[in-house]
Chain A
Amino acid sequence: NAGVTQTPKFQVLKTGQSMTLQCAQDMNHEYMSWYRQDPGMGLRLIHYSVGAGITDQGEVPNGYNVSRSTTEDFPLRLLSAAPSQTSVYFCASSPLRVGGGYTFGSGTRLTVV
């Protein structure tokens, strides 16, 4: 049981480049979400999804796109990378039932130069 798998673990991008952070879970969780972690700011919600075909914005959605074509996968796309998007990104999943605990991926450290 792999849990939540994020790839890559590290990435360096040039300003203006695009890329996709991958997230996959094998627990049949309906709820998936992306957070970014910045020093002194905790984790902030970027986008989330309550099931295939359903996504919604979180607290800091600008510059990011998501889609949810299957229950297992929830990729995060950076359309045109900016230095302000340098951060550590976490994907998390949870059962949809109330009180279901979150399972986090191991994170992706992204640097935009």
Chain B
Amino acid sequence: AQTVTQSQPEMSVQEAETVTLSCTYDTSESNYYLFWYKQPPSRQMILVIRQEAYKQQNATENRFSVNFQKAAKSFSLKISDSQLGDTAMYFCAFMRLTGTASKLTFGTGTRLQVTL
């Protein structure tokens, strides 16, 4: 079974600064997907970024980028130029790479507060 660990329950960052959220995972699989989801106070789950394990290049989406270290089983999220709208709960998630849709396994989340 796969496990996902987010060791930072809460973090705070000032507007315009950069913050990194940590995520580690445990799996015996060699091919898989990793995700970061954002959950603002509205409760909606929003996909932030996705990484395919067989791709060595780190994924980037505008101000969001990841540092994917496959050997270390680490998948951190960097948010650059933080904005007040980035205030949310962030979840790291794992999915096996199979021929069909697979279950998402989530971490416990990191609550990020962006301050003025």
Contacts and interface: CB of A to CB of B under 8 A. Distances in A.
Interface string A84-100: 00001010101111111
B45 A104 contact: yes
Contacts, number: 60
Q: Is the interface of A mostly helix, strand, loop or mixed?
A: strand
Nearest to A101: B47
B44 A50 contact: no
Contacts of B42: 106
Interface stretch (B56-64, B67-75, B78-86, B103-111): B103-111
Interface in A21-51: 30-31, 33, 35, 40-45, 48, 50
Interface string B35-50: 0000000111101001
A98 B97 CA distance: 7
B4 to A, nearest CB: 8
Contacts of B50: 101
Chain B interface residue bracket vs A: 20 to 34
Interface of B: 4, 6, 9, 33, 42-45, 47, 50, 52, 91, 97-109
30 contacts: A30-B101, A31-B101, A33-B103, A33-B104, A40-B9, A40-B108, A42-B91, A42-B106, A42-B107, A42-B109, A43-B91, A44-B106, A45-B104, A45-B105, A48-B103, A58-B103, A90-B45, A92-B104, A95-B101, A96-B100, A96-B101, A98-B102, A99-B33, A99-B52, A101-B47, A101-B50, A102-B104, A104-B45, A107-B43, A109-B43
Given A40-B9, A42-B91, A50 B100 contact: yes
Contact of B98 (A45, A94, A98, A104): A98
Chain B interface, DSSP helix/strand/loop, else mixed: loop
Contacts of A31: 100-101
Max count, chain B CB within 10 A of own CB: residue among A42, A90, A100: A42
Contacts of A88: 43
